[in-house]
Amino acid sequence: MESTYEPPSRAIGTREILIAMRRSWALVLACAVLGGLALAGLTMWLQPQTYTSTAVLLVNQEVASDLLHPLPQQDDPDRVIENETTFAESRSVEVRAEDELGFEASITATPRAAADVLEITATEETAERSQQVASAFTTAYLDLRVEADQALLDQNIRALEDETEQLKIEMDAATNAAARDRLMARIEEYERSINELRVSSYAATGGVVVVAEPDLPPEPTSPNTVRNGLIGVILGLALGTTLAVVRFGTDDRVRSPAEIEAALPGVVVLGEVPHLPAPGTNGVPQVLDDETTTGDSVPYRDLASAIQNRLSGRDPRLVVVLGLDDTIAVGELVGRVALANARTGKNTIAIDANLTAPSLHRVFGTSDSPGILSLSRGESTPWEAFRKVDFASNMRLLTADADATADPGLLFGEEASRFFQTVGLLDQDFLALIAGPDLDAGGPALASALEAAVVIVVREGSSRLTRVREALRRFDRVGLEVAGLVLDREHPVSS
């Protein structure tokens, strides 16, 4: 069976992104945490601490307009606030404030939206300095506004006084009583205006009132560690998600039967079984007896039925079950599938051909001898080696003798003829399931010697499709039939 597998090309949509994030949640979380810590720490290291102090001023539109603008512009409040902002940031205010401070400084004047309010803000390296600068600029701005107010009032008073003197001259020259009365009325009106302006000059404020004095900031406003940390978390999430999506798009690990069959045209997934820890990785296998596997036998019974269907018309029905790696408990899997098949009333043989890590005898709680080695060496008869299972009368068991020094190639040499002849003489009605060694430990050679069909067990989330492809090509080169794949699931298998 020649596989034309190519690494899968996946269209990335919202669903795929969510799947990628779920599969690589640890990576995404690590990037988010590290991003937040890194950006917050970097800004704290590179950016000096600064403190901000602000004075809040209320601008009296009418007075300010009278003082600074001609009458036609009094109805434009935005223009008044804009001019006040420009004046607060002017060089004249800056020079006056720096003379008081004794050092160079600057502020920012900002009008508050939809209000006649002006904010003068100073940003400095210490809290005290920021308050000092804001206070100095506020005082300088107010003083210059008062001076401008006083100068304008004085100018208006002088203009009215000159006009009054001129009216008095005209009144002295007038001969008509009515004309003299009119001139006297105008003189009195001007004198009242002069008195009002003089009263205003005593209380001149420049049209600006301080609403809030510059405060002493309790903590730095920059760098904003919380804000920078949140930005770092967001950037880290984006980076982690990108890496997760890239990993998802290039990941060829086995995930589901649909992915296997889509990526490997012509390959049949015979079934799914729950993961069974391999011997030596997580304790010993569960011992099977008449009471066990009744509740979880459905996946194994379905797998046995699928194998039977794939081998329909083939005699003898010999199947070598091989794990793609050593994390798969092939021996226990073969035992459970064989038992499930036998419980349907079919004759079944389970054989352990893994000489380096035998496990089938532990699965059934029996002795490992006599077994394949004893049979191959002529130390036992087939009827002694092929033992009946007490709680499944139509099932026989051939174990692998425990011999740490045994050469795995023993089953493929001349000494193996007795074993092969025995298997060949078995009742043709039997389904023989053989737990073979790993792919790299003689599994293909065993299957080739027996001329048996092959079932490859792949592990969900661990086995890679590229390795499955290599195994398929390996069997195809020696002319062996791969009946199909079995998916060893990490998650529960629905029955």
**pLDDT per residue over 306-348, tens digit each?**
988 888 776 667 788 888 877 788 888 888 898 888 888 888 8
pLDDT at res. 81: 83
Count CB neighbours of 483 within 10 A: 23
User: What are 221-262's pLDDT values in tens digits?
Assistant: 877 788 888 998 999 899 988 888 887 777 778 888 888 888
Question: How far apart are alpha carbons 353 and 423 in whole angstroms?
Answer: 12
pLDDT at res. 12: 67
Query: If residue 81 lies in a helix (H) or strand (E), which one and from where to where?
Result: helix 77-88
Question: How far apart are alpha carbons 44 and 178 in whole angstroms?
Answer: 83
Question: How far apart are alpha carbons 274 and 293 in whole angstroms?
Answer: 12
Q: Looking at 135-241, which runs of residues are DSSP E strands?
A: 208-212
Closest among 385, 367, 366 to 375, alpha carbons compared? 385
Question: How far apart are alpha carbons 426 and 364 in whole angstroms?
Answer: 22
| Residues of the chain scoring pLDDT < 70 | 1-12, 61-77, 197-206, 277-286, 289-296, 314-316, 402-429, 438, 440-442, 491-495
Residue 316, preceding peptide bond in cis (omega within 30° of 0): yes
Question: How far apart are alpha carbons 236 and 73 in whole angstroms?
Answer: 53
Question: How far apart are alpha carbons 142 and 331 in whole angstroms?
Answer: 93
pLDDT at res. 315: 64
